[in-house]
Structure 1
């Protein structure tokens, strides 16, 4: 690792101040991506601002018909939380399928969506459920939050505080995962909400995206048969040693039908 100054603020105000104290500060949440990057000397931040000491951005609560999850809530806590399991079981199941026990007990929902790995699971839930990302400065609609490969709408000095998930009528997340990392080669989150059906795809492209043709078909008939003839174009999808773009395009349909059937 390169040398850096370490900060562990006790409040959001202290964290925001620390983010302006160095030339190139970085936030560390669970550290599941940042710490390996530092160890490989692929990043050289001037300061690390550890959010682990800020109690106000941890935990789960209900608010105005939505499930609100603090940014520093771990995957394991989301998976085991009684409110999440009762109100949005698909979200609890998604969190329980991330990585391995070590990752689930250290990684956080805020860190995951801020990093926006193209194969991460949470982005599909944020978009699929029409969630709202709350920061120390504003609220950002889930559809507007993820902007590209490892890119989000967050400003450099912005801190995620929580994510508000509307409770759906029905929902399911199904993924075809890499057996070693459990990252999604393709994952599909399907949600039936009061505002219509949403289908969010992760792992297939450089960034999470919605499958609008499937959404329209499912709005008319919420059944796996309704989308059996719908295909996804391979243009622009990821292609690597794990799966070609064409195979990922095929998996979008497979996972979507499984998600609808499970929901």
Structure 2
């Protein structure tokens, strides 16, 4: 696992949406206009061209007042990633930084990753080839892997002015998370650090002010056994068997061709 992680302290978020703008700008993602939903939230959810969304939840606190519970919602980059397990083309993988990325050249747009994503962040984008024929490719947040390769921080982290978003050494950040958790426990009794161990943790770790369900997050997600069996056992065995079968067929063709060349008079004729 990578030594660096992204940390999201929702209690420090002020809802400015700078992270959303920075993500759009850096990744050259097109604007998406949505109908007004009657809330402050600009987008209903993550899409193929909006890789992070700031969610707004209004909640009554213990004093009878209302608090805004914001969440920077984007790919969590699971250590055990269901999207990677579900992909039949090996188009999804982990980088040296722990980020989960999609190889557009390998992606066939089947949508299995979309159906199986633990956090509903992988989406299919529609494109057109030079003949006008439509095709689809899976897309999502990359944790700005291209920036990490250049020694830069993710664009959303750079844009955050409240230290809600931090990217850095894993051990140091987790220690800081524990300190921040202790400081807010009186105000937010249900506060917790969200780093689900059922999927061996995530590269984006949250400090939540309330239970995960309040933020639309699963309490204790796990990779379905069927996906583990498929990706780690069935698929490799199937490919090996297919390879063996292919080699056997090729071998038979070569052998048959050799025999025909050796005795050209033999064919479908009987000899007395």
TM-score range, shorter chain: under 0.3
Question: Normalising to structure 1: TM-score of the pair?
Answer: 0.23
Higher relative contact order (CA 8 A, sep 6+): 2
Question: Normalising to structure 2: TM-score of the pair?
Answer: 0.23
Which has more radius of gyration? Answer: 2
Instruction: Report the structure, 1 or 2, having the larger strand content.
Output: 1
